[in-house]
Amino acid sequence: MATRADILAKMPATDHHDADAQPSTAVTLADLDACLDALAQLIDMGEAQYMPLFERIETELAALRETETVEDRVAIRLGRLGNPAKPDQTAARSSRAA
């Protein structure tokens, strides 16, 4: 079983905690999903203090998903499959589905 340190080490690192730092990347849906995975493992290990953070990230993730277009969701899914969509192909798929 993974230790607390192992789980926390898998969480995406960002510069967002430092108000003076210029973030190098935006937080992505994949980052939030990875955080939820890690937090779920910690909570399962008895670290109940992470429940409010888990709920907050779930809320943020749901809000971000509501802003995605069909094209965004297709591109994300294809990226997970190792086949990034080209913008013109994604638009063509979307118009065929309509």
Confidence band (pLDDT; 50, 70, 90) for 86? Answer: low
Q: What is the pLDDT of residue 65?
A: 86
CA–CA distance, 85 with 91 (Å, rounded to integer): 10
Residue 18, in any domain of the structure: no
Q: What is the pLDDT of residue 7?
A: 77
Kindly state whether residues 62 and 74 are assigned to the same domain.
Answer: no
* Residues 78-87, mean pLDDT to the nearest whole number: 74
Kindly state whether residues 34 and 62 are assigned to the same domain.
Answer: yes
How many distinct structural domains can be found in the chain? 2
Its domain, for residue 45, covers 1-10+26-67
Residue 97, in any domain of the structure: yes
Render pLDDT for 26-68 as a digit per residue (tens, 0 to 9): 778 888 888 999 999 999 999 999 999 999 999 989 988 888 8
Give the whole-number percent of the chain exceeding pLDDT 70. Answer: 69
Residue 20, in any domain of the structure: no
